[in-house]
Amino acid sequence: MAVTAIGKRGLTQRTAFSLLVLATAIVTIPVLFIIVYIIVNGAGAISWEFLIQPPSQAGKAGGIFPAIVGTLYLMLGALIFSLPVGVLAGIYLTEYARDNWLTRLINMAILNLAGVPSIVYGLFGLGLFVMAMHFGMSLLAASLTLACQALAMTITTSREAIIAVPREYREGSLAIGATKWQTIRHVVLPQALPGIITGAILAMSRAAGETAPILVVGAAFILPGLPGSPFDQFMALPYHLYTAAAHVPGMPKVTVWGIALVLLAVVLSFNSLAIFIRIRVRQRRFGL
């Protein structure tokens, strides 16, 4: 049974709702179009060689293997440097912090960290990790930069996951004589784990797609091999895509779409994984 209205007001309502539907279509249809377009146009470039060979002829031939590996390294690096501190910060905010000015300051900082433009993180990484700490244009510097950018997300998602753990569990544990840290370590964290993992995956997916920071901190367009240590230079998919699309004359279009497809596949599969876990956790929580 829907609320129906008759006459002029009914007409106004129908017109208004049609406009809302139109807005929703404008949001959704281009997304689907973009994804389908990239799949259709990029599929031609995808082959085993494309995925496992290094590039040749300025990227016009050969594959993108070092870029794929570089991106995986970056995702891992960003995760290693941002997840532990993010979780600990989340624990602090939920379990230890009192409602005072410091907590408000921390929350405000988190909020604003999320809004800092990626290029500014790039400048930060360049000034701090590349220059001041002498890591150079390296995988390490880029990972640390991306980790700083991911920090807001890992803290927020950890905090939400920890808050969601029912109080009764904590009380139950404390009541049998566990210390506060034991309670957190053995009761709260295991319960919050799926939520924390979801946040971690989202942070990795974000790190995989970021271009501006690594452009500043110094990704390389073409490297013959893989980085041998954290202090080596690296290739990465998004930077490779940017250079191939914008700076290499005579680049075959199919190769460009192919790189875009691989990047999109990495990012979106991680995103879907996170969404999937979230749905599963929610279902389990409601006993479905």
Partner 1 sequence: MSVNYEVLSNRAAPTSETKLKTEKVNLFYGTFQALRNISLDVPKQAITAIIGPSGCGKSSFLRLFNRMNDLIIGARVAGAVEIDDIDIYDKDVDVVELRKRVGMVFQKPNPFPMSVFENVVFGPRRHGKTNRHELAGIVEQSLRQAALWDEVKDKLGQSALALSGGQQQRLCIARVLAVEPEVILMDEPCSALDPIATLRIEDLMRNLSDDYTIVIVTHNMQQAARVSDMAAFLMMEEDRAGTLVEYGPTSQLFTNPKDKRTEDYITGRFG
Partner 2 sequence: MLQRGASPATADSGLSMSLRRRWRLREKTIESWIFLNGLLAVVVLLGVLILLMREGLPVFLYTSPLKFLFGTRWYPVSEPPTFGMLTFFAATLWVTLISTAIAVPVGVGCAAYLAEVAPSKLRETVKPVVELLAGIPSVVMGLIGLLLLSPLVQSIFNLNTGLSGLTAAIMLSMMSLPIIVSVSEDALRAVSNEFREASYALGATKWETVRHVCIPGALSGIAAAIMLGVGRAIGETMTVLMVAGGALAVPLSPTEPMMPMTAAIASGIGNAVRGGLQYQALFAIGLILFLMTLSVNLIADRVLERQKRKFAR
Binding residues vs partner 1 (CB under 8 A):
1-7, 9
With CA atoms as reference, report the closest residue to 45 among 288, 278, 256, 270: 256
56 three-class SS: strand
Q: Measure the CA–CA gap between 45 and 65, rounded to whole angstroms.
A: 13
Stretch that binds partner 2, among 45-53, 60-68, 145-153, 227-235 (CB under 8 A): 145-153
Binding residue for partner 2 (CB under 8 A) from 21, 51, 133, 193? 21
Q: How far is the CB of 89 from partner 2 (least distance, A)?
A: 5
Instruction: Out of 143, 238, 255, 258, point to the residue binding partner 2 (CB under 8 A).
Output: 238
CB of 94 to partner 1, least distance (A): 32
Min. distance of Cβ 196 from partner 2 in angstroms? 14
- Number of CB atoms found within 10 A of residue 196's CB: 21
Which of residues 8 and 224 has its CB atom nearest to partner 2 in the complex? 8
Cβ atoms 67, 237 nearer than 8 A:
yes
Nearer to partner 2, 55 or 218 (CB): 218
Residue 166 within binding range of partner 2, rule CB under 8 A: no
Largest Cα–Cα separation, the chain? 74
> x/- string (CB under 8 A) for partner 2, residues 42-81?
----------------------------------------
Residue 121 CB: number of other CB atoms within 10 A? 23
Interface residue with partner 2 among 78, 126, 220, 235 (CB under 8 A) is 126
Residue 200 contacts residue 280 (beta carbons within 8 Å): no
Of residues 117, 172, 190, 225, which one binds partner 2 by CB under 8 A?
117
225 binds partner 2 (CB under 8 A): no
DSSP calls for 25-46: HHHHHHHHHHHHHHHHHHGGG-
Among 47, 56, 112, 283, the residue binding partner 2 under the rule CB under 8 A is 112
CB of 224 to partner 2, least distance (A): 21
Note the residue count of the chain: 288
Please choose which of partner 1, partner 2, none residue 7 contacts, taking the beta carbon within 5 to 8 angstroms, the exact cut-off set by kind: partner 1
| Least Cβ distance, residue 38 to partner 1 (angstroms) | 38
Choices 50-58, 60-68, 95-103, 193-201 (CB under 8 A): range interacting with partner 2: 95-103
Residue 50 interaction partner, one of partner 2, partner 1, none, beta carbon < 5-8 Å per kind: none
The tokens for 2 are 């829907």
With b meaning 16 or more CB within 10 Å and e meaning fewer, what string describes 213-239?
A: bbbbbbbbbbbeeebeebebbbbbbbb
By a kind-dependent CB cut-off of 5 to 8 A, residue 1 interacts, out of partner 1, partner 2, none, with: partner 1
Q: What is the DSSP string of 168-230?
A: HHHHHHHHTT--HHHHIIIIIHHHHHHHHHHHHHHHHHHHHH--HHHHHHT--S--SS--SST
Give 6 or 246: the residue with its C-beta nearer to partner 1: 6
